[in-house]
Structure 1
Amino acid sequence: MTQVTHKYAKEVLVIKNIPLLRSLAAQFLAFQLMVVAVVLVAVAAVSVAQSTSEFREARGARMIAVAENTASTPIVRDRIEQVPADPFVGRTLAPEVDRAVALSGASLAEILAPDGTVRVSSDPSRLGAHVDLGPSRADEGRAWFGDAEIDGTHSLVGQVPILSTDGDVLAVASVSEGYPSVWALLSGAGERLLFYLGLGAALGLIASYLLSRRIKRHTRGLEVAEIASLADHREALLHSIREGVIAVNNDGEITVLNDSAQELLGVGADAVGRRVDTVGIDPSVVELLLPGETGRSDTDTVIATTTRVLALSRRAATSGGERIGTVTTMRDSTELAALQGQLSSHKSVTDTLRAQTHEFANQLHTISGLVQLGEYDAVRDLVGTLTRRRAEISDAVTQRISDPAVAALLIAKTSLAAESGVALELAPESHLAPLDPALATDVITLLGNLIDNAVDVSVGSARRRVEVAIDDGDGLRIEVRDSGPGVPENLREAIFARGVTSKPDVPGGRGIGLALVRLVTAQHGGSVDVADMPGGGAHFTVRLQGARTHA
């Protein structure tokens, strides 16, 4: 048996050895012998046809000449003309026809009556027999040669009329010779033919043996059936696994693309054999798939396209110690990323409640101490101040935002931003009616990620301010402005595409928050843009068309 495995393989593919008669060398040998046999038969057929044609042309003229000589012999003409019905003419003229046979090497010489009756023959047993003249024109006074069946033998016949002094046909001189057998025709010119055919067969066998050894060496000793079995297993494995697999050679051409990869990348099977940057794959994915001259060969990363969040793992592919390209596996992490975004939003609310718990505990301790000291006026003032501050934050949000989930998120984010020293403000012109629950969940994901990103970049800035504006007048528009350093123009597309890597030492951003923003926006048929503020900082704008609200 032959075991085929790989250092990373989890299973060993066992292929039974193929019998000798089915081996590659045996197949080449059989094929070569078949070719030689076909050539031999073809050459033999051509040789027989040519020899037959040459025999007919050469011997046909000879038969006519001998028949003419017999017909022009004086004793033959005189005996036939003077005694037409002589019963002993066969004996009288027998020496003449025998001489014709001896001189020409023919098989048979005869003198026929005009009606085809044999009157004189070199074969006495044929006297009186009837010969069908058939297509012969000798009975009409014309010489003729052609093929005829004589006593079951295919023969070449030459016939010449014996004419009287008046030009009448007295008889027909007929000379015939049987065609040689096929073996006789081949043996005449077969020695040289057989030599060359044998030489060709020997060279063919040697060439087929050397070729089979060369092919076997290049196929790692596997026979044809084993290679086919490996190919079938490879196709079955590639197209049945859930993860997408795409292989790209050193020239940037796709060499392997399984069904899952076609679905995840939005391309068809016709992409195989074409450059990866010409088949319509998202540019951010193309950048990872193309084999670079420098940098890391092995890369794990998360990339967000306009429709999916993909977790990709790229590895270099080598053969014989030489790099032949890259193999990238990918998984669809869209749902996981969306859940992660929603969990992040809910976690921020939880963090806010936890922070407020500590804050309220401190405030209660302060109130308890003031009560023990009897400072009741100070207690009243402190409680009033805390109540007004909390009411101001809630009223500033709930007066403009009617959706309770979005309002709760903004209130929580305001408190969290304040703990980081950043002022989170809601623009006065903001307005949002209650949303459908599904849409509210997506808006929370969008708003939460944008605010988290804005707060992070605003910490340490001069103004430390984040402003949020929401408007549902024409569709739904969400704007988030921060006081951070802004986004360079050459990175305004990349920040929405590439997420974090699975390796901590590879830079790539804070996470997939902005990638989720673009993904959720694209699912609603909207758009997301980023620009710089006139006084510094970034300005993110999200537009969702046809967003449904409840009046």
Structure 2
Amino acid sequence: MATLGKKRVRAVRRHLSLATEHLVLQLLIIAVVMAGVIAVSVDQATNDFERSESRRSLSAAESLAANPMLRALLPEAAPEMGAALPAMAESTRSISGLEFVAVADAEGKIITSSYPQDIGKSLINSETNVLEGRAWRGEVKRENERILLAQVPVLNDKGQLIGVVEAGQSYPHTIEIFRVVAPNALITLLICLLLGAGGSFLLSRRVKYQTRGLEPREITELFEHREALLHGVKEGIISIGPDQHVTLANDVAIDLLNLPLDCVGRTLKELNVQPSVIRALMTEQPEPDREFLIDEKVVVFNRMPLHSRGTDMGSVTTFRDRTELTLLEQELGDTKATSDMLRAQTHEFANQLHTISGLIQLEEYDDVIRFIDGVSFSRSKTLEEITQRILEPTIAALLIAKASVIAERGMELILASDSWLPRCEDSMAKDLTTVIGNLIDNAMDAVAESEIAKINLRIDTAEEHVTITVKDSGPGLDPEVIEEIFTQGFSTKTVQKDRKRGFGLALSRLVCRRRGGDILAENDHGAKFVATLAQFKKEDSA
């Protein structure tokens, strides 16, 4: 039953509205404040009582001690002897409004008192110094009751102590004091309740307007869902404010952009983000899937601006790593080029077979033999030069295909006589395919309009690395942009709408650096590219 009751209380708490929660909180605060106010009021009333009653008791005692008749009767007075002293004490008590007045002899023994049971007792306590001839005020306890009193010495004409006058008042009970302060406290409580209820209502309306009518539990649920979604997706998500401050970033974004874990709240310049990435995060993006090269990764960006009630809230950018996919696209492009080349050779072989068939029908047998020998010699020479020097089948097939395409375009591919490439592991062969294919394609574009269209290729293999040198007979590179050609998106050629330019050389450098090497460009009677790849991967060597 107790567990069930706790569950019900929790359920009620969960379903309390924001206004109700604020009102309950205000009431609790008001209750605490009122308790403090009442305690302070009671303490203040007690202090006021002490100040006023202490002065009144002292004044009444001094007035009675200075009475000549009391000073004349006191030396001979004894308990319950005569009515003059009791009459003077009672008169003083009535006039002053005090609770009691007592008169004692020089030794402090009570002669007359408003409390008859105290007659004959001593009024001297451990704190008083009245017997030394000085007045004293203080607090004593009698029969579990606090009493505020004043004691004044009675002196004769010679200044000798002949008696003591005591006057006092009992402290009022707390309930009596509370009855005095209760009306003001109730008025204050009512005013606080009205102000608290009105403030809670206005505050809840203001908060709901800012939170679009959501209750705190709903905001909590949204936050939890957002955190789960933010850190559960495999894409990077980063939110940038109008002032370039990072307002949100998930784990993938921090990893891909090489950001510190405390990047939220800092500007992109403080985080030393690459200028190209800053442009991607801050500029409008008319088309989706913009590719950028970040260190050794090809990252695809998609930016969405944010606006709320006419206010610019910045933007949210999602991005993903497409390095492997881009490399695969390059390989697929090479494969497609190879298949196109084979298809073209199929037509070429068909034409040659038709020629041979025609010569046979014309019974020109000598011409048939010469034609076959010429075609055979040309093909076999190219195949022999490549297969003797390039033992890796993947690269050999690529060069044969590229040589055929180059020949069809009226160009010439020259493989250096000292080139050498043994068989490689699969990953190395794949990286070499990307680099060699991109460099040859770049050279083909460079010599497309040259009168002498030659492409020189050299492959050197050492124990630890492979060096690829591609030189063309084109116009060469502009010295001002010789370093920019390796930047993603940069191209010296006209960009067609259906083709992405500016990533071939960037990807080649990416592959080389991932292999612990690099790629350099220079002018040597045309453009010359030298690419170096280690036989092992960079991460393997670590």
Q: TM-score, normalised by structure 2?
A: 0.83
Query: Paired residue for 1:220?
Result: 212
Determine whether 1:338 maps to 2:338.
Answer: no
Q: Secondary structure at the residue paired with 1:467?
A: strand
Query: Paired residue for 2:467?
Result: 477
Q: Secondary structure at the residue paired with 1:269?
A: coil
Task: Indicate the RMSD between aligned Cα atoms, in angstroms.
Answer: 3.5
Query: Is the 8 Å Cα contact of residues 79 and 112 (structure 2) preserved in structure 1?
Result: no
Q: Which amino acid aligns with 2:395?
A: V
Query: Paired residue for 2:519?
Result: 528
CA pair 429-396 structure 1, distance change in 2 beyond 3 A: same
CA pair 216-437 structure 1, distance change in 2 beyond 3 A: closer
Task: Note the 1:139-150 alignment, pairs <5 A.
Answer: 139-150=131-142
Counterpart CA distance in 2 for 1:21 and 1:264 is 42
Query: Paired residue for 1:207?
Result: 199
Query: Paired residue for 2:352?
Result: 363
Query: Is the 8 Å Cα contact of residues 302 and 499 (structure 1) preserved in structure 2?
Result: no
Query: Is the 8 Å Cα contact of residues 90 and 120 (structure 1) preserved in structure 2?
Result: no
Counterpart CA distance in 1 for 2:250 and 2:490 is 24
Q: Secondary structure at the residue paired with 2:262?
A: helix
CA pair 101-151 structure 1, distance change in 2 beyond 3 A: farther
Query: How many residues were matched structurally?
Result: 522
Counterpart CA distance in 2 for 1:100 and 1:298 is 104
Q: Which amino acid aligns with 2:66?
A: S
Once the two structures are TM-superposed, the CA of residue 332 in structure 1 deviates from its matched residue by 2.2
Question: For 1:438-496, what per-residue CA distance to the aligned partner results, in whole angstroms no more than 9, with x for missing partners?
Answer: 31221112111222233244334433332223233583322323455666645853654
Counterpart CA distance in 2 for 1:236 and 1:437 is 39
Once the two structures are TM-superposed, the CA of residue 157 in structure 1 deviates from its matched residue by 0.9
Question: For 1:416-451, what per-residue CA distance to the aligned partner results, in whole angstroms no more than 9, with x for missing partners?
Answer: 211223222224554444434431221112111222
Taking every aligned residue pair, what percent have the same amino acid on both sides? 37
Determine whether 1:30 maps to 2:19.
Answer: no
Query: Paired residue for 1:291?
Result: 283
Determine whether 1:80 maps to 2:69.
Answer: no
Once the two structures are TM-superposed, the CA of residue 82 in structure 1 deviates from its matched residue by 2.0
Query: Is the 8 Å Cα contact of residues 241 and 315 (structure 2) preserved in structure 1?
Result: yes
Question: For 1:380-413, what per-residue CA distance to the aligned partner results, in whole angstroms no more than 9, with x for missing partners?
Answer: 3223222322233234334544444323322221
Query: Is the 8 Å Cα contact of residues 147 and 155 (structure 1) preserved in structure 2?
Result: yes
Once the two structures are TM-superposed, the CA of residue 59 in structure 1 deviates from its matched residue by 2.7
Counterpart CA distance in 1 for 2:498 and 2:312 is 26
Counterpart CA distance in 2 for 1:402 and 1:277 is 50
Which of these residues, 49, 53, 57, is aligned with residue 55 of structure 1?
Answer: 49
Query: Is the 8 Å Cα contact of residues 301 and 499 (structure 1) preserved in structure 2?
Result: no
Once the two structures are TM-superposed, the CA of residue 414 in structure 1 deviates from its matched residue by 0.8
Query: Is the 8 Å Cα contact of residues 305 and 497 (structure 1) preserved in structure 2?
Result: no
Once the two structures are TM-superposed, the CA of residue 232 in structure 1 deviates from its matched residue by 1.6
Determine whether 1:66 maps to 2:41.
Answer: no
Question: For 1:2-25, what per-residue CA distance to the aligned partner results, in whole angstroms no more than 9, with x for missing partners?
Answer: xxxxxxxxxxxxxxx997972222
Task: Note the 1:356-395 alignment, pairs <5 A.
Answer: 356-395=345-384
Query: Is the 8 Å Cα contact of residues 74 and 105 (structure 2) preserved in structure 1?
Result: no
Question: For 1:316-346, what per-residue CA distance to the aligned partner results, in whole angstroms no more than 9, with x for missing partners?
Answer: 2232355432222222222222323333334
Q: Secondary structure at the residue paired with 2:207?
A: helix
Which runs of 5 or more structure 2 residues have no equivalent in the other structure?
1-10, 538-542
Once the two structures are TM-superposed, the CA of residue 233 in structure 1 deviates from its matched residue by 1.4
Determine whether 1:420 maps to 2:420.
Answer: no
Once the two structures are TM-superposed, the CA of residue 218 in structure 1 deviates from its matched residue by 2.0
Q: Secondary structure at the residue paired with 1:454?
A: helix
CA pair 317-457 structure 1, distance change in 2 beyond 3 A: farther
Question: For 1:110-141, what per-residue CA distance to the aligned partner results, in whole angstroms no more than 9, with x for missing partners?
Answer: 12456765431112243345656131112343
Task: Note the 1:69-218 alignment, pairs <5 A.
Answer: 69-83=63-77, 86-89=78-81, 91-112=83-104, 117-129=109-121, 131=123, 133-163=125-155, 169-182=161-174, 199=191, 202-218=194-210
Counterpart CA distance in 1 for 2:442 and 2:53 is 108
Counterpart CA distance in 2 for 1:209 and 1:257 is 36
Query: Paired residue for 2:8?
Result: none
Counterpart CA distance in 2 for 1:506 and 1:174 is 113
Q: TM-score, normalised by structure 1?
A: 0.82
Q: Which amino acid aligns with 1:332?
A: D
Counterpart CA distance in 2 for 1:506 and 1:360 is 35
Q: Secondary structure at the residue paired with 2:289?
A: strand
Query: Is the 8 Å Cα contact of residues 305 and 519 (structure 1) preserved in structure 2?
Result: no
Determine whether 1:455 maps to 2:444.
Answer: yes
- The range that moved more, 468-477 or 520-529, is 468-477
Question: For 1:353-395, what per-residue CA distance to the aligned partner results, in whole angstroms no more than 9, with x for missing partners?
Answer: 4433433333333334333433332233223222322233234
Query: Is the 8 Å Cα contact of residues 312 and 330 (structure 1) preserved in structure 2?
Result: yes
Query: Is the 8 Å Cα contact of residues 79 and 119 (structure 2) preserved in structure 1?
Result: no
Question: For 1:269-322, what per-residue CA distance to the aligned partner results, in whole angstroms no more than 9, with x for missing partners?
Answer: 322222334424444333211135xxx455322323222222222222232355
Question: For 1:56-76, what per-residue CA distance to the aligned partner results, in whole angstroms no more than 9, with x for missing partners?
Answer: 233323322222222333343
Query: Is the 8 Å Cα contact of residues 297 and 314 (structure 1) preserved in structure 2?
Result: no
Query: Is the 8 Å Cα contact of residues 246 and 329 (structure 1) preserved in structure 2?
Result: yes
Q: Secondary structure at the residue paired with 2:75?
A: helix
Query: Is the 8 Å Cα contact of residues 257 and 269 (structure 1) preserved in structure 2?
Result: no
Question: For 1:488-541, what per-residue CA distance to the aligned partner results, in whole angstroms no more than 9, with x for missing partners?
Answer: 6458536542499xxx9868734743343232122112223344x3555x4333
Counterpart CA distance in 2 for 1:491 and 1:227 is 54
Query: Paired residue for 2:34?
Result: 40
Which runs of 5 or more structure 1 residues have no equivalent in the other structure?
1-16
Q: Secondary structure at the residue paired with 1:408?
A: helix
Task: Note the 1:480-491 alignment, pairs <5 A.
Answer: 480-483=470-473, 489-490=480-481
- The range that moved more, 187-196 or 235-244, is 187-196
Counterpart CA distance in 2 for 1:31 and 1:233 is 28
CA pair 494-200 structure 1, distance change in 2 beyond 3 A: farther
Q: Which amino acid aligns with 1:55?
A: F
Once the two structures are TM-superposed, the CA of residue 158 in structure 1 deviates from its matched residue by 0.4
Q: Which amino acid aligns with 2:467?
A: R
Query: Paired residue for 1:316?
Result: 305
CA pair 274-18 structure 1, distance change in 2 beyond 3 A: farther
Q: Which amino acid aligns with 2:70?
A: V
CA pair 117-468 structure 1, distance change in 2 beyond 3 A: farther
Once the two structures are TM-superposed, the CA of residue 44 in structure 1 deviates from its matched residue by 3.7
Task: Note the 1:10-29 alignment, pairs <5 A.
Answer: 22-29=16-23
CA pair 475-308 structure 1, distance change in 2 beyond 3 A: same
- The range that moved more, 35-44 or 65-74, is 35-44
Counterpart CA distance in 1 for 2:30 and 2:378 is 103
- The range that moved more, 235-244 or 397-406, is 397-406
The higher relative CO (CA closer than 8 Å, separation ≥ 6) is in 1
Counterpart CA distance in 2 for 1:297 and 1:138 is 101
Counterpart CA distance in 2 for 1:483 and 1:102 is 131
Counterpart CA distance in 2 for 1:121 and 1:149 is 17
Counterpart CA distance in 1 for 2:496 and 2:226 is 35
Query: Is the 8 Å Cα contact of residues 159 and 172 (structure 1) preserved in structure 2?
Result: yes
